Chains A and B, each alone.
Chain A
């Protein structure tokens, strides 16, 4: 990998881990799809789901629990939990280590003594984070499609792609949050943990707020709602929600760039 810029340096450092994560991310949903013919179609799972308390069901899916179709099954198994987790992990890990990694590793002085602006370092590292999150989303799609074809499961590949774009944007948005926290605290693990906690809170707000009288409206504040509230697997991308996710990422990355420009570098 040529070391032509900060962006290329990120790709150079990250490609092995991201390759491994992509393979894993392709296998997990692929496995779900492969299991569907033997398990989802049996009907007993649907009965079990129907008996679950509402709050518990809400945690796993925002739009009903229908696993009688492969699509509904995938919505629950992949898009409600595992998919966001796989992509959040990428965004948050890369975001948290962007500037905090340089400062904690003690290389920030050396890097920033070069004729490069700090905001540019932030943007190039953010660009690498965005790219890898999309790459892993593509890997998930490939895994799903390959398994669907291999095991003869009928699935709408185009709407799965749309839902994965949404899901990747969720990961990128929280990656932006992690990057911003990383600029503020200058500690990789702390940035990772804090951004993840924010994501967990957002997850529960989206899942549980509708069940609590008077808190229903809070749900629209959660990035998880922007991601899955409109059920992208069934309805495709909702422009307003896509814009909200992109907006969160852009605002966080911009704030991170400005904040890093203004403060002293930890040496």
Chain B
């Protein structure tokens, strides 16, 4: 039986008129990498800060490891590693000093583990944080979140500021956490990143949790924007019957469209004409929301 590591009941946090979250019911199971996907300001950081008892809910409840986020906050935080979204560090400390400080606060000073993770990320832990680039500071944040092998790792936009090469190292570290059977809860506003790293994804928009899906399901329903260029003008209705097609435009030799799921039918229809070129673009998060959750997001708006 898989245990539930994070559970929220009708979790609500109001800040005046905007921001905050409304009635979020969330469940993260032990051993999974759970992605929390949504545009900036959707309520991802608010939810995470509620789990850590940094802020208190207006109503509803949050549980971590089956413990109450507020009442048992100390016990919970002893088992959690956390990377804040807007990471700010102590500028005068080196990475090594910060890891030592937090190691002591967590009563498990494990300098060796921190040093190993830092090496994976190619981080110089002897330099004062204030002298580090944004990307290197993010690495310091990642190391302190992952060091000491916490049972739950909460990462708020972990890859922001990391160059692609370092991102690969970060993904390897996540694999290590997954292999240990530990749990990851990470937020992102980038779909491909979630697709690449997560088992399940919660999609959040304007403070509401729209859906929770497995990433494999999401991929079979992937939305692609395509542009096809032909050697000859194609008839207006040549692609109208393709299943899953939307936003179809036919402009002489150029056909633009979006396809949900398989592109097989589209290409089978396309071979009837002389096909010169195909280009696809990654849909924006807004387009995905509109395509998948058009009604739900309208209701939230």
| Residues of A near any B CB (own CB < 8 A) | 2-6, 9, 13, 105-117, 264-265, 267
B55 on interface, CB distance cutoff 8 Å? yes
Task: Flag if B52 contacts A113 (CB, 8 Å).
Answer: yes
| Residues of B near any A CB (own CB < 8 A) | 45, 49, 52, 54-56, 74-75, 77-78, 80, 82, 84, 86-90, 92-93, 97, 100-102, 104-107, 141, 144
Task: Flag if A115 contacts B97 (CB, 8 Å).
Answer: no
Task: Flag if B54 contacts A107 (CB, 8 Å).
Answer: no
Task: Flag if A4 contacts B55 (CB, 8 Å).
Answer: no
Task: Flag if B87 contacts A110 (CB, 8 Å).
Answer: yes
Residue of A nearest to B109 (CB): A4
Of the residues A5, A105, A115, A267, contact of B54 by C-beta under 8 Å: A267
Q: Smallest Cβ distance from B291 to chain A, in angstroms?
A: 33
Q: Smallest Cβ distance from B49 to chain A, in angstroms?
A: 6
Task: Flag if B97 contacts A113 (CB, 8 Å).
Answer: no
Residues of A close to B55: CB separation below 8 A: 264-265, 267
Task: Flag if A3 contacts B101 (CB, 8 Å).
Answer: yes
Q: Smallest Cβ distance from A122 to chain B, in angstroms?
A: 15
Q: List 14 A-B contacts (CB under 8 A).
A: A2-B100, A3-B93, A3-B97, A3-B100, A105-B90, A107-B89, A107-B90, A109-B52, A110-B87, A110-B144, A112-B52, A113-B82, A116-B77, A265-B55
Give me 15 other A-B pairs in contact (C-beta within 8 A), A6-B105, A267-B55 excluded. A107-B88, A108-B54, A109-B54, A109-B84, A110-B87, A111-B105, A112-B52, A112-B54, A113-B54, A113-B82, A114-B105, A115-B75, A116-B105, A265-B54, A267-B54
Of the residues B75, B77, B88, contact of A106 by C-beta under 8 Å: B88
Task: Flag if B45 contacts A267 (CB, 8 Å).
Answer: yes
Q: Smallest Cβ distance from B239 to chain A, in angstroms?
A: 49
Q: Given A4-B104, A105-B88, A107-B89: A115 and B56 within 8 A (CB)?
A: no
Q: Given A3-B97, A109-B49, A110-B84: A115 and B89 within 8 A (CB)?
A: no
Q: Smallest Cβ distance from B91 to chain A, in angstroms?
A: 9
Residues of B close to A117: CB separation below 8 A: 74
Residues of A close to B49: CB separation below 8 A: 109, 265, 267
Task: Flag if A13 contacts B92 (CB, 8 Å).
Answer: yes
Residues of B close to A107: CB separation below 8 A: 88-90
Q: Smallest Cβ distance from A208 to chain B, in angstroms?
A: 43
Q: Given A3-B100, A3-B101, A267-B54: A113 and B88 within 8 A (CB)?
A: no
Main SS class of interface, A = loop
Task: Flag if A115 contacts B88 (CB, 8 Å).
Answer: no
Residues of A close to B89: CB separation below 8 A: 107, 110
Complex CA gap A267/B144 in Å reads: 18
Interface centre among A6, A109, A111 (most CB of B within 10 A): A109
Complex CA gap A2/B75 in Å reads: 25
Task: Flag if B84 contacts A115 (CB, 8 Å).
Answer: no
Residue of B nearest to A114 (CB): B105
Complex CA gap A5/B105 in Å reads: 6
Residues of B close to A4: CB separation below 8 A: 104
Q: Smallest Cβ distance from B109 to chain A, in angstroms?
A: 9
Residues of B close to A113: CB separation below 8 A: 52, 54, 77, 80, 82, 84
Q: Smallest Cβ distance from B126 to chain A, in angstroms?
A: 15
Residues of A close to B141: CB separation below 8 A: 110
Q: Given A116-B105, A265-B55, A267-B45: A110 and B88 within 8 A (CB)?
A: yes
Residues of A close to B45: CB separation below 8 A: 267
Complex CA gap A112/B105 in Å reads: 10
Task: Flag if B86 contacts A115 (CB, 8 Å).
Answer: no
Q: Smallest Cβ distance from A130 to chain B, in angstroms?
A: 21
Residue of B nearest to A111 (CB): B105
Task: Flag if A115 contacts B90 (CB, 8 Å).
Answer: no
Q: Smallest Cβ distance from A264 to chain B, in angstroms?
A: 4
Interface centre among A106, A111, A115, A116 (most CB of B within 10 A): A115
Of the residues A2, A9, A105, A115, contact of B106 by C-beta under 8 Å: A115
Q: Smallest Cβ distance from B87 to chain A, in angstroms?
A: 7
Task: Flag if A114 contacts B84 (CB, 8 Å).
Answer: no
Residues of B close to A105: CB separation below 8 A: 88, 90
Interface centre among A13, A110, A112, A117 (most CB of B within 10 A): A110
